Amino acid sequence: MNYSVSKIGQILQAPVQFGDVVVSGVSFDSRQVKPGDLFVALVAQNDGHDYIEQALNHGAVAVLADNQHQIPSTIAAVIVPDTLTALQKLARYRRQDINPKVVAITGSNGKTTTKDMAAAVFATRYKTFKTPENFNNEIGVPLTLLTMPEDTEVLVVELGMDRFGQLSVLSELTLPDVAIITMIGEAHIEFFKTRANIAKAKLEITQGLKADGTLIIPFDEPLLTTAAINQSVVHFGKKISDIDENKAETSFTFDDTRFAIPLRGRYNIMNALAAISAGILLHIDTKDAAKALKHFDLTKNRTETLTTAHGVTLISDVYNSNPTAVAAVLATLKMIPSTHRYIVLGDMLELGEQTQKLHAGLAKTVIEADVDGVYLVGKFMGMYLYPILQQRFDSTHLHQYETDQLAELITDLQTLGENGDVILLKASHGIHLENVVNALVK
């Protein structure tokens, strides 16, 4: 971004101070400000206006502030009624100013992996930028738009949601040319109550989808395939063959092309097919897509394969969790050749009144995974799943920890297994099993 304070004021129709100052970036966290940034003083749990001085000390050259706060006349500033609304308006201008093809991705599971896959596919032909990390909400999406390079030809943007209306806002902000819904699961069912409501909320991604745009959805999800869509629709997931899984990758054949992705799990084939389908729409040859997917960069903690200090294979999938995701990753674990297999399952959050039922319902999935040890973390796993598994596993093979006992879990796992064994960790991000993963691979 290379806008003057005066230009930003014109975009936002807002008064400015020191309009000749030029900003080269944007940040809302004063600790992460880079020299030349516009510091956006958001008002949330903390009031960003309290950190303006710190942001300036770190190199910010101007601030976006609201008119409820007194901003010193010595500071370059844009003054608006609401800084979040202004941030979004500025981001939408940036999206239209650069005008890349936009591929927007949402879904209960797999959206980050699909984002990474799609970006790799598009990069074979276009200058491509993707959502950093998981910047997929009302703040993260604008930051993605504002930080994409000026020569971006394809933007792959991840859109998250946890309530009705959120995807409508993000879709209208990004104005996608292509929209992907990876799948409908139980994520956020605490708020939505039913999968049908989740599907309805996910379909809000079409709100900003261009009239000549395309929605890409799984062929086997009736909650999506029966919906009335104004734009064209492409179904993914059909016509695959020769699926093979080994310790390093999952391979399959699609459109007479052999694909091998550096991830375990048949569910990742669906993510790959969504990315491939988007690539085809933007004229990417499937053979080029296959080359891209063989070594694509995966965002951290999405089904990472790591190795512990004493040679045990560690599968880390600790960013989010729900029953569909747990079942999928345990089915994958069962297919991995190994001497012994162990699982660490943390609480699945945001399940609301279905929390007990869905945690207890994992028992059959866990038992069928045929593992040598089960380590449960969190009050829901302890209350609802642990008593059922006690009927199948003895105390040597079944363990339970509270969320404040991660140090004890780490100690127990550090001596667990040997070369040829596998430990899988799966939980919602709020359980913070990434701390366990980091300790085990030091």
CA 243-248-253 angle, to 5 degrees, is: 25
**DSSP helix/strand/coil, 404:** coil
3-state helix, strand, coil in the chain (%, to 5): 40, 20, 40
- CB 212, CB 183: distance < 8 Å: no
Give ranges for CATH 3.40.1390.10 in the chain: 3-82
The reply to whether the predicted model has a pTM over 0.85 is no
Fold of the CATH domain 3-82: 3.40.1390
pLDDT at position 12: 98
Does 185 count as an annotated binding residue? no
CA distance 389 to 387: 6
- CB 313, CB 422: distance < 8 Å: yes
**38 φ, ψ to 5°?**
-90, 120
Does 301 count as an annotated binding residue? no
Does 109 count as an annotated binding residue? yes
Count H helices, E strands: the chain? 18, 22
Does 230 count as an annotated binding residue? no
CA distance 25 to 147: 7
Q: Which CATH number fits domain 304-440: 3.50.50.60, 3.40.50.300, 2.60.40.10, 3.90.190.20?
A: 3.90.190.20
CA 209 to mean position of chain CA atoms: 20
Does 108 count as an annotated binding residue? yes
pLDDT at position 229: 95
Is domain 99-294 annotated with CATH 3.40.1190.10?
A: yes
Helical pair 286-294 and 267-281, crossing angle rounded to 10 deg: 140
**Measured CA distances, 31 to 37, 59, 91, 287, 431 (Å):** 12, 10, 22, 43, 25
Give ranges for CATH 3.90.190.20 in the chain: 304-440
- pLDDT in 10s for each residue of the chain, 442 residues: 899 999 999 999 999 999 999 999 999 999 999 999 999 999 988 999 999 999 999 999 999 999 999 999 999 999 999 999 999 999 999 999 999 999 999 998 889 999 999 999 999 999 999 999 889 999 999 999 999 999 999 999 999 998 899 999 999 999 999 999 999 987 766 677 889 999 999 999 999 999 999 999 999 999 999 999 999 999 999 989 999 987 678 999 999 999 999 887 788 999 999 999 999 999 999 999 999 999 998 876 567 788 888 889 898 888 888 888 898 888 888 877 788 999 999 999 888 888 999 999 999 999 999 999 999 999 999 999 999 999 999 999 999 999 999 999 999 999 898 888 999 999 998 999 999 999 998 7
Residue 395, C-beta contacts closer than 8 angstroms, at least 6 positions apart: none
CA distance 243 to 252: 4
Does 111 count as an annotated binding residue? yes
Does 277 count as an annotated binding residue? no
Give ranges for CATH 3.40.1190.10 in the chain: 99-294
**The pairing of beta strand 250-254 with beta strand 257-261:** antiparallel
Give the closest residue to 318 by CA, choosing from 244, 418, 403. Answer: 403
pLDDT at position 325: 85
- CB 385, CB 376: distance < 8 Å: yes
Which H or E run contains 158?
A: strand 154-158
